[in-house]
Structure 1
Amino acid sequence: MMKKITLGLIAVFVFSLTAMAQEINWVTMDEALELQKKEPKKIFMDVYTNWCGPCKMLDKNTFHNPDVAAYVNKHYYAVKFNAEGNSTVTYKDNTFGNPNYDASKANRRNSAHEFSRYLQVKAYPTMVFFDEEGNVISPVQGYLKPQQLELYLKIFESDKYKEMTTQEQFNEYYKSFKPEFKE
């Protein structure tokens, strides 16, 4: 009996370590751009707000999925960016801030950050993909489940999006895509 309990505890411990190891390694945009200089990788940016319900669901249900976390950590620099926050971002020799930020509204609707405006983010959540040189590839709006996000993670990481010049080509890719991530 004691052996079963010990094995059970070991299994729980190993599972806990595995789950902890599957967190996305979030960095700031400035850090991601600096990391790209040493080791080029694409950037995956989660543009969220503190008050956004779908943003919280995306974080809980999708970004904490072990398959998503492992894939993002391997192939991207991951950036979590508060679209109504008070951080400063330097991008393409421009500095962006939020001059109208109101600290008393930190957990409510606040002023839009200049960088989110620059990226033309109009809805939350939005995930923005950047290439290895820090250029914007594409934004993807809305809450996505792990297998839905997998399609975009893989199409941008593999550069398959460059082969798609029409909506029909994307639709064909979408129909033939076989997700591997567990829900």
Structure 2
Amino acid sequence: MKKLILLISFVLIGITVQAQEKIEWMKFEEAVAANQKDPKMLLVDVYTDWCGWCKKMDALTFKDPEVVSYINERFYAVKLNAEDTERTFDFMGKEYSEAKMAAVMRVQSYPNFVIIDETLKNITQLPGYREPDQFLEGLGLIVKKGFRGQ
């Protein structure tokens, strides 16, 4: 009986730990609101539903424990569908659809990762599919350069 309880406990702990090992994706306006309370850069994953490389990023790179940890610690992570004209939100006094925001950020290929500094004014892009190590290297260079809009 003790072994059964111990086994169930380990399974439940394993499920809990595994459930925490994912990127905490937000909507754009949620990330902006969170940034006002605790400033961090925003990592915006601009994707389309038909993009095979976007799906591969979701399936592989964004499941990598190091990538998950790095993004969750340093960024507010946002998913933005570059073709969604229905869902709208306010940003800096203007209304945007997800598609319009992607256009304003000058995204022209997918996947594309837009990094917005803590002041929500300066952006840079990290375009294209990347394996976990490549993705971490690219993000690391941006963070190391002190991309903070200062």
1:115 is paired with a residue of what secondary structure?
helix
Structure 1 residue identity aligned to 2:15: S
Q: Are positions 1:133 and 2:132 aligned together?
A: no
Superposition map of 1:39-50 within 5 A: 39-50=38-49
Superposition map of 1:17-96 within 5 A: 17-85=16-84, 86-96=86-96
**Alignment partners' CA distance in 1, 2:46 and 2:101:** 10
Question: By how many angstroms is 1:159 displaced?
Answer: 3.6
* Number of the residue aligned with 2:131: 145
Indicate if the aligned counterparts of 1:128 and 1:136 stay in contact, CA closer than 8 A: no
Q: Deviations over 1:87-125 (max 9, x none)?
A: 213223221127xxxxxxxxxxxxxx1111111110111
Question: By how many angstroms is 1:160 displaced?
Answer: 4.1
Question: By how many angstroms is 1:20 displaced?
Answer: 1.2
Q: Which protein has the bigger strand share?
A: 2
Indicate if the aligned counterparts of 1:43 and 1:78 stay in contact, CA closer than 8 A: yes
Q: Deviations over 1:1-31 (max 9, x none)?
A: x988876665554333222101111111111
Percentage of pairs with the same residue: 33
Structure 2 residue identity aligned to 1:87: R
Count matched residues. Answer: 147
Determine which structure has more spread, i.e. the larger CA radius of gyration: 1
Question: By how many angstroms is 1:79 displaced?
Answer: 0.4
Q: Scaled by the length of structure 2, what TM-score is found?
A: 0.85
Question: By how many angstroms is 1:42 displaced?
Answer: 0.5
Indicate if the aligned counterparts of 2:117 and 2:147 stay in contact, CA closer than 8 A: no
Q: Deviations over 1:35-61 (max 9, x none)?
A: 111111110010011111111110110
Indicate if the aligned counterparts of 1:19 and 1:66 stay in contact, CA closer than 8 A: no
2:78 is paired with a residue of what secondary structure?
strand
Question: By how many angstroms is 1:145 displaced?
Answer: 1.1
Q: Scaled by the length of structure 1, what TM-score is found?
A: 0.70
